[in-house]
């Protein structure tokens, strides 16, 4: 499996608190069957994103965990005007590895009416935004249909794996399934922050998706689609 969203870099944001935790998070993922893992430190008002220092830290982490799992740098990109301006000026700065794909995370408190323009400012630069965990966004919880409009503009949808497992409550779990039922689920990811509650396990969600919707969708959202993303390919037809 391929995990495109995780906070495994030690002591850079609210993810891994130490090297020990960072290494163990990667080991948990590896034992769970993950072969590629994208470290996505935040770029928001609280945490500054420094691609160069993150790259060095990731190489150090890769050295410590060995070659059983491939680590790639990405970004948990807060979708604010300032950030978008910087991404437009530097289209590779926040991407997943050397690809054209990048995560975008919306504010919990407001969604700008100019959302379509903001999306277009990235897609017109050749970037493919991947919307992270809409099932956990309080505003989108009341209007998930918005996500369909954005998907029609080329935005991909990433749902949190543990949402399918029920770790975020019944309402979030139902919404996770809504995205799957509506054909709006492109990829699951862990968004792991720690060893416990928010851990880097994908296999439980994969099993639930396989049982509910069949093996094809389970494979697409946990293997083939995220693999296409990290290798900069088009997503296979779903």
- In whole angstroms, how close is the CB of 131 to Fe ion at the nearest point? 12
Cβ proximity to Fe ion, 24 vs 76, nearer residue: 76
Cβ proximity to Fe ion, 3 vs 76, nearer residue: 76
- In whole angstroms, how close is the CB of 216 to Fe ion at the nearest point? 27
Distance CA 185, CA 109 (A): 23
User: Residue 202 in 3-state DSSP?
Assistant: coil
Cβ proximity to Fe ion, 198 vs 206, nearer residue: 198
Three-class DSSP labels, 175-192: HHHHHHHCCCCCEEECCE
* 202 close to 190: Cβ distance less than 8 angstroms: yes
- In whole angstroms, how close is the CB of 76 to Fe ion at the nearest point? 4
Task: Give the DSSP letter string of 27-39.
Answer: HHHHHHT--EEEE
- In whole angstroms, how close is the CB of 199 to Fe ion at the nearest point? 13
Positions touching Fe ion (CB under 5 A) are 76, 191
- In whole angstroms, how close is the CB of 189 to Fe ion at the nearest point? 9
Cβ proximity to Fe ion, 76 vs 135, nearer residue: 76
Task: Give the DSSP letter string of 53-113.
Answer: HHHHHHHHHHHHH-TTSEEEE--EEE--HHHHHHHHHSTTTTSSTTSSEEEEE--SS---T
Cβ proximity to Fe ion, 191 vs 223, nearer residue: 191
Structure tokens at 104: 């975008």
Cβ proximity to Fe ion, 195 vs 210, nearer residue: 195
Position closest to Fe ion via CB: 76
* 135 close to 163: Cβ distance less than 8 angstroms: yes
Structure tokens at 214: 């069949």
- In whole angstroms, how close is the CB of 219 to Fe ion at the nearest point? 24
Can you tell me which residue has the tokens 């969708």? Answer: 217
User: Residue 159 in 3-state DSSP?
Assistant: strand
Cβ proximity to Fe ion, 187 vs 217, nearer residue: 187
- In whole angstroms, how close is the CB of 28 to Fe ion at the nearest point? 17
Structure tokens at 212: 């509910």
């Amino acid at each position: 499996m391929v995990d495109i969203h995780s906070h495994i870099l030690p002591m850079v944001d609210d993810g891994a608190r130490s090297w020990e935790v960072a290494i163990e998070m990667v080991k948990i993922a590896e034992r769970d069957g993950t072969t590629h893992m994208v470290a996505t430190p935040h770029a928001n008002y609280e945490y500054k994103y420094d691609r160069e220092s993150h790259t060095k830290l990731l190489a150090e982490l890769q050295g410590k965990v060995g070659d059983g799992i491939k680590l790639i740098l990405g970004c948990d990109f807060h979708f604010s005007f300032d950030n978008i301006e910087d991404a437009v000026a530097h289209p590779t700065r926040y991407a997943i590895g050397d690809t054209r794909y990048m995560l975008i995370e919306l504010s919990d408190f407001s969604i700008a009416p100019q959302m379509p323009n903001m999306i277009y400012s990235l897609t017109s630069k050749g970037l493919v935004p991947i919307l992270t965990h809409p099932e956990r966004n309080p505003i989108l919880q009341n209007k998930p249909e918005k996500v369909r409009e954005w998907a029609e503009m080329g935005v991909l949808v990433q749902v949190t794996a543990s949402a399918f497992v029920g770790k975020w409550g019944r309402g979030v779990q139902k919404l996770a399934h809504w995205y799957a039922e509506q054909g709006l689920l492109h990829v699951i990811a862990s968004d792991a922050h720690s060893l416990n509650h928010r851990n880097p396990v994908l296999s439980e969600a994969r099993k639930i998706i396989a049982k509910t919707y069949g093996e094809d969708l389970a494979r697409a959202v946990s293997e083939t689609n995220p693999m296409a993303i990290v290798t900069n390919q088009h997503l296979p037809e779903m």
